[in-house]
Chains A and B, each alone.
Chain A
């Protein structure tokens, strides 16, 4: 169960009400939006997520349905994916993703604790740093590490002759390291949201009754269990579907991962969609495991930890030595997490074409700006990013509300599974699923001619960003009290305004961060773009890929650096605008409710 905390009023008053959609007011009961709200939302989810995924998965069992084979029903592909190299790839992915998720938790938990509960120096920067880490595409750190440790890489050039390091990084350990680092922001976000809601009194109660500091800490870990399990689940799903690391570091280390095998299965000509679909089945099933563990850990009990009178936790004063240690540790983490990708990208783009020498040159950037057709794709991607981020945050917020209800219904369980399972499917599967789903002849009959249109691409972007978005928002959204909105409405505000005055200020910050995260993800998205972009309107990633895979490697890297830079510039501008224009109260509240 992903519910981290209960709305406080529900606990304090002993009400066991769920925070469902409440009626917008007015009109006969059967016509109220609430009746349509949940089914409408489910309809959207089905159309944009369930349908493409289902089409792709069904393909494995019935290739004939989509003209991809002769059988109407067969299990051969499923069996095939369980044997040979694909099986190896899947097994690799499973254990690597599990290890990465655990690593993410083991790092994310202490960092979240230090930032939320102690006076560690630099703690205000931690949240921002984590979001920054989340915004990076995963191939960027992988490329950075490669440049560092590859033969004739930077490490050797500066005199550190450490072949053991090369061997270590260019192998399973490196893959776990990179994926694990990627999981840390997810863990951090889930846990710090839970910590914000965790009052001091549980630890106080333990300590006044004789528990030492460590024993008190151990005592509250089970209370945080929902957040911890949620962090593990999302870390696992994200790792298992990651393509950036698989295509770069893992590939170059000859360590096969499921996403790459999938990509190869589809990329081979003629492509073997049914085999890829078989592998996708296995990925989806794999993801059920952490979900099941999560449900078992909760065993139906409520882990409501928020009460209306929760005393805000007091920060523990660290001694000088402790401050130095903590600060250095976290700084080191961020150096590795953010510094190496930065280094990788910059070095690739600033070196001469093909990086033959280590003299920095701007030649690639010059060539880039001389290239015609540079601005169009970037502009286009910005617009796609804008639209997608807005739609995704809107839907994600709704999904997060539904997921953080106190009472777990079959509907929320199904939604939880759907959203997590779709995270587990790599983008290329999503894209192919979209083609299958929306290119069906029946779609033309229904006049839904969406394939190869901009609209479908944006819908696909939304669908692929929605699950992670919803998960990331669950933490903060579950801290909402329905009474905030009710109070506004009882005093004369309509439904929308009541929401805007009562609810929005509390979640404005997390919503904003989720928006930016989605924006950056879409801006730099490749696999969906490749399969679904409307002819004539290439997004930025296509243009970058063009350069990278052909002869203009340096230019391609320069272009990708530029794209990342633009993405970050947008982030900076939006955050700056928020700081300047958002009401002071929003920022203040938002500050304590860390997204």
Chain B
């Protein structure tokens, strides 16, 4: 055969094998990096407490949108030896995944903000009911535990906090109704509930407070004609606040508090009543008993003092700015005291099913 062709063949072969080797390495690297945490954990763990589970440990698949979740899962694996696969994502895609894989679910537990999501899942029978960890709830916690114990609260943030531009707003309003006045025309911003999970509880909370859905609709319509500006999520809304587009932002408490760290110009005020927004963990009803047992262990760990420490240090400018639900744990110093704040809870089982209709209404009437 022609020598030039032979040369080309060799070159081609080399290139091809290089590409194949690269892809093999890549895939191996990917799968190993995902299991590196698990293998490291199982290599290091030798504690007798986890001896029973580490022998035949099935990875616990955690769907979570919390900022401190990777810190938590690593700590959990370290402490118990149970391997964890973390799907750290925004709440929306997580719920989409759960819903889409309904006929063959692959998840172990879900950890997101907002009880309405859990209520919705519970109504579809997707959550394990009846589990309650052996902890002592404080008042925030006991308000947040559902009757059928289909999910467990792990912390609470509030919707109804007003982040305002201290320079431009010397006298911020203290009630929702005050936002309707023309003083604040075009200066108020909030999130879009179809994009930002925690926002629906704010809307539902207002409706709950005002007494009915239609009262709430009237309220938000009034806000809209007063120039309400909508942004997709906490981030862009706060960004609009600091860039001067708006002067008052209705966002989640953890987001607002975190913003004050970087922008000293931002002040905080809780409107009364503020709606409690627990972050919670729900367990997949269709998971195997072994996985469910692991999930329960996870919840126990989260609510333990060690776990709470991780929660408070894992996302110090974001989700860690929560109010604990168990006794014996104090919130981080930056959080304003709730002593003077009137709080309310909304029943996720009544408000949850209405989320779609209310969100759609909001989208078509307020956002547009």
Bound CA–CA A42/B132 (angstroms):
53
Question: Shortest Cβ distance from A277 into chain B, in angstroms?
Answer: 12
Closest 10 CB pairs of A and B: A354-B242, A536-B34, A535-B85, A535-B87, A356-B242, A530-B93, A435-B100, A383-B26, A67-B103, A537-B34
Residues of A within 8 A of B86 (CB): 535-536
Q: Are A267 and B104 in contact (CB under 8 A)?
A: no
Q: Are B355 and A268 in contact (CB under 8 A)?
A: yes
Sampled A-B contacts (24; CB under 8 Å): A151-B245, A264-B194, A267-B96, A269-B355, A271-B99, A352-B263, A387-B26, A441-B103, A451-B106, A452-B61, A452-B87, A493-B8, A496-B12, A534-B30, A534-B85, A536-B34, A536-B84, A536-B86, A546-B88, A549-B232, A549-B235, A551-B255, A551-B318, A556-B235
Bound CA–CA A150/B243 (angstroms):
11
Bound CA–CA A484/B64 (angstroms):
56
A533 CB–B CB distance under 8 Å: yes
Residues of A within 8 A of B30 (CB): 380, 383-384, 454, 534, 537
Residues of B within 8 A of A84 (CB): 364
Residues of A within 8 A of B102 (CB): 66-68
Mark contacts of B233-275 with chain A using CB atoms, 8 A cut-off: 1 yes-contact digit, 0 otherwise: 1111011011111000000001100110011010000000000
Question: Shortest Cβ distance from B251 into chain A, in angstroms?
Answer: 9
Q: Given contacts A533-B87, A535-B61, A549-B233, are A273 and B100 in contact (CB under 8 A)?
A: yes
The residues in B between 50 and 67 inclusive whose CB is less than 8 angstroms from any CB of A are 61-63, 67
B23 CB–A CB distance under 8 Å: yes
Q: Are A269 and B117 in contact (CB under 8 A)?
A: yes
Residues of B within 8 A of A549 (CB): 90, 196, 232-235
B27 CB–A CB distance under 8 Å: yes
Residues of A within 8 A of B85 (CB): 534-536
B47 CB–A CB distance under 8 Å: no
A212 CB–B CB distance under 8 Å: no
Residues of A within 8 A of B42 (CB): none
Residues of A within 8 A of B234 (CB): 549-551
**Interface residues on chain A, number (Cβ under 8 Å):** 73
Question: Shortest Cβ distance from B126 into chain A, in angstroms?
Answer: 10
Q: Are B239 and A267 in contact (CB under 8 A)?
A: no
Bound CA–CA A448/B30 (angstroms):
19
- Specify the chain B residue showing the minimal Cβ separation from A270: B120
Residue of B124, B234, B239 with most chain A CB atoms under a 10 A cut-off? B239
Residues of A within 8 A of B63 (CB): 535
A300 CB–B CB distance under 8 Å: no
Query: B101: which of A435, A494, A496 is its contact (CB, 8 Å)?
Result: A435
Question: Shortest Cβ distance from B63 into chain A, in angstroms?
Answer: 8
B80 CB–A CB distance under 8 Å: no
B359 CB–A CB distance under 8 Å: yes
Residues of A within 8 A of B255 (CB): 550-551
Question: Shortest Cβ distance from A361 into chain B, in angstroms?
Answer: 11
Residues of B within 8 A of A45 (CB): none
Mark contacts of A356-381 with chain B using CB atoms, 8 A cut-off: 1 yes-contact digit, 0 otherwise: 10000000000000000100100010
Bound CA–CA A533/B89 (angstroms):
9
Size category of the B interface is 35 or more
A355 CB–B CB distance under 8 Å: yes
Residues of A within 8 A of B244 (CB): 152, 356
Give the A-binding residues of B (Cβ under 8 A). 1-2, 5, 8-9, 12, 19, 22-23, 26-27, 29-31, 33-35, 37, 61-63, 67, 70, 84-90, 92-93, 95-97, 99-104, 106, 116-117, 120, 124, 194-197, 231-236, 238-239, 241-245, 254-255, 258-259, 262-263, 265, 317-319, 355-356, 359-360, 363-364, 367-368
The residues in A between 545 and 580 inclusive whose CB is less than 8 angstroms from any CB of B are 545-553, 556
Q: Are A531 and B363 in contact (CB under 8 A)?
A: no
Residues of B within 8 A of A531 (CB): 93, 96-97, 100
A492 CB–B CB distance under 8 Å: yes
A501 CB–B CB distance under 8 Å: yes
- Specify the chain B residue showing the minimal Cβ separation from A348: B239
Residues of B within 8 A of A454 (CB): 27, 30-31, 34
Q: Given contacts A497-B12, A550-B67, are A251 and B232 in contact (CB under 8 A)?
A: yes
Q: Are B34 and A355 in contact (CB under 8 A)?
A: no
Q: Given contacts A493-B5, A531-B93, A550-B318, are A439 and B104 in contact (CB under 8 A)?
A: yes
A102 CB–B CB distance under 8 Å: no
A101 CB–B CB distance under 8 Å: no
Bound CA–CA A455/B31 (angstroms):
10
- Specify the chain B residue showing the minimal Cβ separation from A255: B368
The residues in A between 151 and 187 inclusive whose CB is less than 8 angstroms from any CB of B are 151-152
- Specify the chain B residue showing the minimal Cβ separation from A382: B26
Mark contacts of A237-265 with chain B using CB atoms, 8 A cut-off: 1 yes-contact digit, 0 otherwise: 00000000001000110101000000010
Q: Are B100 and A432 in contact (CB under 8 A)?
A: yes
Bound CA–CA A383/B32 (angstroms):
13
Q: Are B356 and A269 in contact (CB under 8 A)?
A: yes
A436 CB–B CB distance under 8 Å: yes
A491 CB–B CB distance under 8 Å: yes
Mark contacts of A437-462 with chain B using CB atoms, 8 A cut-off: 1 yes-contact digit, 0 otherwise: 00111001000000110110000000
Q: Are A497 and B5 in contact (CB under 8 A)?
A: yes
Q: Are B87 and A551 in contact (CB under 8 A)?
A: no
Q: Are A355 and B367 in contact (CB under 8 A)?
A: no
Give the B-binding residues of A (Cβ under 8 A). 66-68, 84-85, 150-152, 247, 251-252, 254, 256, 264, 266-273, 352-356, 373, 376, 380, 383-384, 386-387, 390, 432, 435-436, 439-441, 444, 451-452, 454-455, 491-494, 496-497, 500-501, 530-531, 533-538, 542, 545-553, 556
Question: Shortest Cβ distance from A474 into chain B, in angstroms?
Answer: 24
Bound CA–CA A266/B255 (angstroms):
25
Query: A551: which of B1, B259, B356 is its contact (CB, 8 Å)?
Result: B259
Residues of A within 8 A of B124 (CB): 270
Question: Shortest Cβ distance from A362 into chain B, in angstroms?
Answer: 14
A497-B8, A552-B235 given; name 7 further pairs at CB < 8 Å. A68-B99, A272-B356, A356-B263, A454-B27, A542-B89, A550-B234, A550-B318
Q: Are A387 and B2 in contact (CB under 8 A)?
A: no
- Specify the chain A residue showing the minimal Cβ separation from B195: A267
- Specify the chain A residue showing the minimal Cβ separation from B6: A497
Question: Shortest Cβ distance from B351 into chain A, in angstroms?
Answer: 12
Question: Shortest Cβ distance from A91 into chain B, in angstroms?
Answer: 14
Q: Are B245 and A551 in contact (CB under 8 A)?
A: no
Bound CA–CA A432/B355 (angstroms):
21
Residues of B within 8 A of A501 (CB): 5, 8
Question: Shortest Cβ distance from A219 into chain B, in angstroms?
Answer: 44
Query: A150: which of B84, B92, B245 is its contact (CB, 8 Å)?
Result: B245
Q: Are A537 and B103 in contact (CB under 8 A)?
A: no
Bound CA–CA A273/B97 (angstroms):
11
Residues of B within 8 A of A254 (CB): 367-368
Query: A553: which of B31, B236, B360 is its contact (CB, 8 Å)?
Result: B236
Bound CA–CA A148/B100 (angstroms):
39
Residues of A within 8 A of B84 (CB): 536
Residues of A within 8 A of B231 (CB): 252
Q: Are A542 and B258 in contact (CB under 8 A)?
A: no
Question: Shortest Cβ distance from A381 into chain B, in angstroms?
Answer: 11
Q: Are B33 and A376 in contact (CB under 8 A)?
A: yes
Question: Shortest Cβ distance from A543 into chain B, in angstroms?
Answer: 9
Q: Are B368 and A256 in contact (CB under 8 A)?
A: yes
Bound CA–CA A150/B244 (angstroms):
11
Bound CA–CA A550/B235 (angstroms):
5
Q: Are B1 and A492 in contact (CB under 8 A)?
A: yes
Residues of B within 8 A of A68 (CB): 99, 102
Bound CA–CA A534/B233 (angstroms):
25
Residues of A within 8 A of B243 (CB): 152, 354-356
